[in-house]
């Protein structure tokens, strides 16, 4: 369980505080996938930065039931261009007192079908593959809290679909709490157990949106579209 209790946070801009979050309280339950959904610039990334402890709240507290091991996939590609794929993954665990670091790297790359790319540099990868390496690196620390900040926003639909499914599979297998930021409603509904919408500006609450019915409706819509496409294809092939 992660509890945000009366958290307030403000950026410093031109020596003046710009409040982003004010008196926010919320509880994230373990082993669930949460999606923070909302327009750009509302403060979703700030929430992730606070949870990752990159930012410290100006006021209030963030409590973790057990010591969090955090994996974080940032919005921008953060692979070090001068390191190979495997070195990039190993970089985050190199300082840790664990054995078999090489095996951990290998396992995570294998999970995301990147084993063959282990010894090449990020510039030689496609955008989708790079993002997979970012995810593999976040998973290498064996996190119990995985933070994902719009990880698929730069990818084409086919690639992001594959990585979404890989991430979901991984989250379920490794029993992680996943907090995921997106402004794509379909993605939010597809990925999340709970969709959270930040309320107010600065954010004062996170509203939970019921998504079970919505997901059913969307599946139905997709089914209809699929049938319609089939009919159209038949019509096109129909000889005059």
- What sign has the CA pseudo-torsion 41, 43, 47, 53? positive
Task: Between 20 and 48, name the residue whose CB sits nearer to other proteins.
Answer: 48
User: In angstroms, what is the minimal distance from the CB of 184 to other proteins?
Assistant: 22
User: In angstroms, what is the minimal distance from the CB of 148 to other proteins?
Assistant: 13
Looking up tokens 């949460």 gives 34
Residues that bind other proteins (CB under 8 A): 52-54, 70, 72, 74, 76-78, 80-83, 91-92, 94-95, 121-123, 141
Q: Which of 92, 90, 113, 119 is nearest to 103 (CA)?
A: 90
Task: Between 37 and 72, name the residue whose CB sits nearer to other proteins.
Answer: 72
Task: Between 70 and 161, name the residue whose CB sits nearer to other proteins.
Answer: 70
User: In angstroms, what is the minimal distance from the CB of 130 to other proteins?
Assistant: 9
User: In angstroms, what is the minimal distance from the CB of 210 to other proteins?
Assistant: 32
Residues 150/153/157/163 CA torsion (nearest 10 deg): -40
User: In angstroms, what is the minimal distance from the CB of 167 to other proteins?
Assistant: 18
Q: Which residues contact 103 (CB under 8 A, 6 or more apart)?
A: none
Spatial separation of the C-alpha atoms in residues 90 and 109, rounded to whole Å: 11
- The answer to whether 23 touches 7, Cβ cutoff 8 Å, is yes
Task: Between 95 and 175, name the residue whose CB sits nearer to other proteins.
Answer: 95
Task: Decide: residue 58, CB within 10 A, 0-12 exposed, 13-18 middle, 19+ buried.
Answer: middle
Task: Between 133 and 188, name the residue whose CB sits nearer to other proteins.
Answer: 133
């Amino acid at each position: 369980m992660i509890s945000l209790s009366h958290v307030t946070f403000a950026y410093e801009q031109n020596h003046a505080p710009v409040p982003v979050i004010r008196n926010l309280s919320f509880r994230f339950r373990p082993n669930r996938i949460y999606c923070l959904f909302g327009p750009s610039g509302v403060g979703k990334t700030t929430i992730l930065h606070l949870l990752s402890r990159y930012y410290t709240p100006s006021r209030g507290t963030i409590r973790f039931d057990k010591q969090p091991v955090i994996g974080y996939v940032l919005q921008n590609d953060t692979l070090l261009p001068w390191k190979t794929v495997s070195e990039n993954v190993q970089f985050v665990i190199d300082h840790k007192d664990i054995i078999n670091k090489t095996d951990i790297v290998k396992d995570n790359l294998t999970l995301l079908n990147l084993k063959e790319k282990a010894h090449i540099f990020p510039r030689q990868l496609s955008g989708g593959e790079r993002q997979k390496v970012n995810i593999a690196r976040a998973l290498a620390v064996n996190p119990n809290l995985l933070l994902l900040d719009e990880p698929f926003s730069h990818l084409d639909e086919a690639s992001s679909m594959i990585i979404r499914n890989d991430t979901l599979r991984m989250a379920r297998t490794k029993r992680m709490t996943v907090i995921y930021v997106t402004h794509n409603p379909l993605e939010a509904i597809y990925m999340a157990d709970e969709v959270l919408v930040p309320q107010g500006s600065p954010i004062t609450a996170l509203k939970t949106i019921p998504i079970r019915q919505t997901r059913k409706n969307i599946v139905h819509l997709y089914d209809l579209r699929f049938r319609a496409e089939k009919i159209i294809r038949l019509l096109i092939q129909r000889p005059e």
